[in-house]
Amino acid sequence: MGRRIRFSVAQPVVIVVWYTSATIMIVLLIVFRYTQTGPASPGFHLSQAYYYGAFAAGLYFVIPTLLAITYYGASRGYYAKEFRLSPSQRTLMLQTIIFFIYLLGGAAIFARIEGWRFLDALYWADFTVLTIGIGNLAPSSHLGRSLLFPFALGGLLILGMTIGSIRALMLEKGKQRMGHGIMTFTFKTMARHASDSQSRLYSYIPHLDEAHKQSERDQVRKEMMFLRTVKRIATLQRRWMSFLISFTVWIVMWLVGAAAFWKSESSQNWTYFKSLYFSFTSLTTIGYGDVYPRSAWGVPFFVFWSLLAVPTLTILISALGDTVVHGVREFTIFLGEATFFPEEKSTRNHLNVFIKRLMRRAPKTDRPRGLSDSAPSPGQHTGSAHGDDASWGDLCSYHCALFNNLNRLIELALSGEEKEFSQGEWDYYLRLINRSGSVRAILDGSLSSDWREGDAEKGHGPASGQKHKGGLQSLAQPSSPLLSGQTEAQWLLEAVAKTIKHELHKADAELCTHNRI
């Protein structure tokens, strides 16, 4: 992290040291197991500390294995060799350290006050901070009960921040990993149906089979509408995929945890169903406390398992809100509009509106100040492509429009709102960009920011207005609004900024030509 030693040197050393530590711990555990217990030592039994050591040895082995996978991926070019923590990763690391210091420190304090063993106090602190509340251990002294108030509140605060960081990081990484693959697959599938008039989906998606008969701006506008449809469907697929993965992980944690408790509490005659019952009430933080682990390795496993299971449930609830809860809310609105509060629409129209609502979130109505001035409503600016140059009057008015829209797009991009522009607004912005050069040059990223000053005079730059080949496939690039990972406002902001830079280059070239004369 300090970047004082090269990655190719530091990473192998760290991996070897971790594996060495894991090997030493495993050897010590094995030697202790076969020398201090058994028939030769009838008075000895393995305590919770031994199993905590076994869990630590397992973690000591998992960590270098993950580091080795990272090193292999970096050497093969899959990851960057320069390791640099992002702000979210750094925040999560610090919050995790603080959480465990708080948990262990609280356990030590309450062990001293209540006369508990430290590991029993750690077990109590774990189910207290995680709000499971099993209840087989509870503070009985006046001082212990008094300190419970600040300890529980502080633990909930730290736990909430830590789980929030885990959720944000997991969802961010999952969106990046799955988003591109799902988007590309959906794009290829729908592009095939959009160009085939015999397809069953042809009437439900924008048509692309007659795009070559239209003007460039109309063709690009239709393609943008198609890409927006693809993005909505791909986003819906990604959300449901995230939900299914989270639900599967939660089910695995539940079933595997139940199997472990069934094994560890066999001396209490636990059945597998009883273990399922305990795991479910603990996993959902219900915590009745009528059954609880007592064995030497059941209690350490509960601490280790609960620290993994509760954040898993939080991520599942988050994914649930993006899919099932959203669908139930929209279905309730649809049911109310179709039955109790009917409008002058047919059932089919209600159903179409319901499907469209499911494919995207409800749009926000708040708009940044002045946006309506720059983005006209549908129906405005419907002039032909030949009349674009006259839309803003002279060149000075056009430049003023560029800078006004730049300012308003900056406000919208910084607001974080994922606004979807109307067809009229897209037509306005495409015409604004089109005056500087080919619309396709903007969309496929060929309006380069490093073209030379003389390119406009020679006809090599974007100002030449040459048509770009490639059709719809040219939009399926990382620089397109579909796959760039940007919102529509962010992408339009970048396109308008490139147009302004192009205009400045062109004005500079004209000024140099005038000075030569």
Structure tokens at 138: 């509870």
Single-letter code of the amino acid located at 470? G
Confidence (pLDDT) at 387: 39
Confidence (pLDDT) at 187: 75
Single-letter code of the amino acid located at 353? V
Neighbouring C-beta atoms of residue 172, cutoff 10 Å: 12
CA distances from 297 to 74, 261, 264, 265 (A): 38, 9, 7, 9
N-term to C-term CA, the chain: 58
Confidence (pLDDT) at 480: 61
Q: Which residues contact 511 (CB under 8 A, 6 or more apart)?
A: none
Look-up of token digits 């449809």 = 229
CA atoms in the 13 A half-sphere facing the CB of 230: 31
> By 3-state DSSP, what share of the chain in percent is helix, strand and coil, each rounded to 5?
70, 0, 30
Alpha carbon of residue 179 to chain centroid = 9
Confidence (pLDDT) at 397: 84
Reported as type and span, the H/E element at residue 94 is helix 87-114
Structure tokens at 68: 């080795």
Single-letter code of the amino acid located at 421? F
Confidence (pLDDT) at 384: 35
Neighbouring C-beta atoms of residue 377, cutoff 10 Å: 11
Give CA–CA dist 296/303, Å, rounded: 12
Confidence (pLDDT) at 43: 67
Look-up of token digits 């399926």 = 476
Structure tokens at 343: 């409008």
Closest CA to 436 of 371, 501, 511, 387: 501
Give CA–CA dist 106/100, Å, rounded: 10
Give CA–CA dist 34/17, Å, rounded: 26
Look-up of token digits 């959203």 = 326
pLDDT along the chain (517 residues), means of 10: 72 94 95 74 81 95 93 82 78 94 97 96 96 92 97 95 84 69 77 68 62 64 75 82 90 95 94 96 91 94 92 82 74 70 59 60 41 41 39 76 88 80 79 66 49 39 38 50 70 86 81 70
Cβ atoms of 114 and 123 within 8 Å: the answer is no
